[in-house]
Amino acid sequence: MAFKIRGKLLVDETDREERERAWAVIANEILDAIRGVKRMIRGLRPPKLDQQGLVSALAALFRDARKVHGVTIHASVRLDWVADELDPVTVLAVYRIVQEAVTNAATHARVSEAVVTLRSADGMIIAEIRDEGCGFELANSGAAPDDNIGLTAMRARAESVGGSLTVLTSPGKGTTIQVTVPMVRPDGE
């Protein structure tokens, strides 16, 4: 049902319990809508990636982390292949995974800095995003994929280009995201 109609019904509702129930339904629908928009946004390609290539897009991302969240990213990026030679789908996957991991560190870890390393070896890109922050309980975070779109999408993206992702974390022990993806996608597509 549309928000507008629900809102109108809510205004007319005199019973307190009914009103609270209606509110809960609306709140849920709003959350659903937010999740939907987030999913869509994550599927879009950032323009900077095409224009400047992976390395400078990442540099811009790290600058933003400081500007927006006040978190300094200590980055070491050593990729043998220039971005143009990389599969564009792989480039996008790596960018999005690092973006999500950096955003998570900047918004959840309660740290003022994080470390990102990207290197290439044996035809693979190996990325690590590490913070010494509050960490979290992995078991709980895996319970409802919809509440962990970020983590779920990161893993799905890595796997979609033939790679893998590992999350190392526990409360109080910081968080490390390790990603390994082949530079050339296995299906050659």
Ligand X SMILES: Nc1ncnc2c1ncn2[C@@H]1O[C@H](COP(=O)(O)OP(=O)(O)OP(=O)(O)O)[C@@H](O)[C@H]1O
Q: In the complex, which residues of this chain contact ligand X (CB under 6 A)?
A: 38, 104-105, 108-109, 131, 133-136, 141, 148-151, 175
Shortest distance, position 4 Cβ to Mg ion, whole Å: 31
Which residues sit at the interface with Mg ion, rule CB under 5 A?
104, 150
Shortest distance, position 72 Cβ to Mg ion, whole Å: 19
Side-chain-facing half-sphere of 25: CA atoms under 13 Å? 14
Question: Residue 2 or residue 144: which is nearer to ligand X going by CB?
Answer: 144
| CB-CB contact of 118 with 98 (8 Å) | yes
Which residue's C-beta sits nearest to ligand X?
150
Q: What is the spatial distance between Cα 183 and Cα 91, in angstroms, rounded to a whole number? A: 9
Contact of residue 26 among ligand X, Mg ion, none (CB under 5-8 Å per partner type):
none
Contact of residue 117 among ligand X, Mg ion, none (CB under 5-8 Å per partner type):
none
DSSP secondary structure letter of residue 144: -
Residue 150 in tokens: 């970020």
Question: Residue 109 or residue 125: which is nearer to ligand X going by CB?
Answer: 109
| CB-CB contact of 38 with 149 (8 Å) | yes
User: What residues contact 60, with CB distance under 8 A and at least 6 apart?
Assistant: 48, 52
Which residue's C-beta sits nearest to Mg ion?
150
